Amino acid sequence: MKKSISLLMALTLALGAGSTSLAYSDKNLEAPKASDVVIDGDLSEWDTSKFLRIDSENQIIDQIEHWDGVEDCSMDIYAMWDEENLYIAATIYDKDPFVYREGFPLDELDAIILFLSTDPEADPERTEYSATDWRIVQSTDKYDFFNYVDRDMIADNQGYETQGEYGDELVFDDYEAVAVADKEIGGWILESKIPLHNLSNDKIAQLKPEAGMTVGFDFSILDVDLPCPGIHSLRMQSSADLTGKDRKPEMYDVDNNPSLWGSMTFTE
């Protein structure tokens, strides 16, 4: 009997430990408050000491066989905020940058996927998306910009449906973005402004950032060198830490499980 009780306690503790590990990862992006931001590809007004990086084989969650190292696909991401906007910038390294083809889904081309909770009170251990969880795919052909808001995984989307799923759309109002080659670093600067009213409606409150607030956040980079039917993008995820050569998106399913995300903290 004592042995059975001990085994039961050990199992209970093991299960408890497993469940507590399902919460935002320790990948936290500090986002300073913005001042006089100009969307021009020049990051001189940004605090670029605050960033997260994708540059490791352990961060690949799909098409690992197509990665040829950091010069083929890697990136640093930066964020800033004000009361009405989220500013996202990235330094992107890609030997074949911004591969785009009209009519293809954005998440089968070169793109960045942003994951964001607009509810600072959301449970970090939740394993299903709520209406205040967002998967935003952003892409460009270097000149025009496109985005796609994926809501298909949300049981109750509170009236905010998927938008831009077929590509070739800019679904955000007052959105600004620019992509500029930076010969000094040998990569590209992508700078953007996302007005937060685009992530709200009459049922979903608009996020109002303030210093000290932390929300769920993560990001992927997608890389394809040749847009052909049936060829999907290499995908790397900031918060992932996987081993082995057999990588599938469902092995690190941030598209459906927000507890796998990292986080973002708004600072002064």
What integer pLDDT is reported at residue 12 of this predicted model? 38
Q: Does residue 2 form part of some domain?
A: no
In a domain, 111, yes or no: yes
Query: Is residue 124 exposed (0-12), middle (13-18) or buried (19+ Cβ within 10 Å)?
Result: middle
Q: Cβ(24)–Cβ(259) under 8 Å?
A: yes
- Nearest to 126, CA basis, from 264, 265, 254: 254
Helix (H) or strand (E) holding 187: strand 187-195
**Across the strands, what pairs with 137?**
113, 148
- Nearest CA to 105 out of 48, 168, 41, 192 is that of 168
Q: What averages of pLDDT result for each successive group of 10 residues across the chain (268 residues)?
A: 39 36 87 96 96 98 96 97 98 94 89 98 98 97 95 98 93 98 91 98 98 98 85 94 94 97 98
Given this model, what pLDDT does residue 231 score?
Answer: 78
Residue 121 DSSP label: T
Per-residue tokens: 230: 């049936």
Task: Say what the pLDDT of residue 183 is.
Answer: 85
Rounded CA-CA distance 193/79 in Å is 10
CATH number at residue 90: 2.60.40.1190
Residue 19 within any structural domain of the chain: no
pLDDT at residue 230, as a whole number: 66
Identify the pLDDT of residue 229. Answer: 64
CA 17 to each of CA 10, 14, 149: distance values in angstroms, whole numbers, following the listed order: 11, 5, 34
The residues facing 215 across adjacent strands are 264
Q: Classify 86 as helix, strand or coil.
A: strand
3-state secondary structure at position 169: coil
Is 12 inside any structural domain?
no
Q: Is residue 17 part of a domain?
A: no
Q: Which residue, 196, 201, 116, is CA-closest to 156?
A: 201
Q: Which of 87, 104, 100 is nearest to 40 (CA)?
A: 87
d(Cα 139, Cα 233) in Å, to the nearest integer? 13
Check residue 11 and give its pLDDT. Answer: 36
- Distance (Å, whole) CA 6 – CA 3: 5
Predicted local confidence at residue 184, as pLDDT: 85
* Domain interval for residue 109: 24-267
Q: In this predicted structure, what is the pLDDT of residue 22?
A: 64
Within-domain flag for 131: yes
Examine residue 232 and state whether it is found in any structural domain, yes or no: yes
Residue 20's pLDDT is: 35
Residue 3 within a domain: no
* CA–CA dist 132, 99 (Å, integer): 31
Domain count of the chain? 1
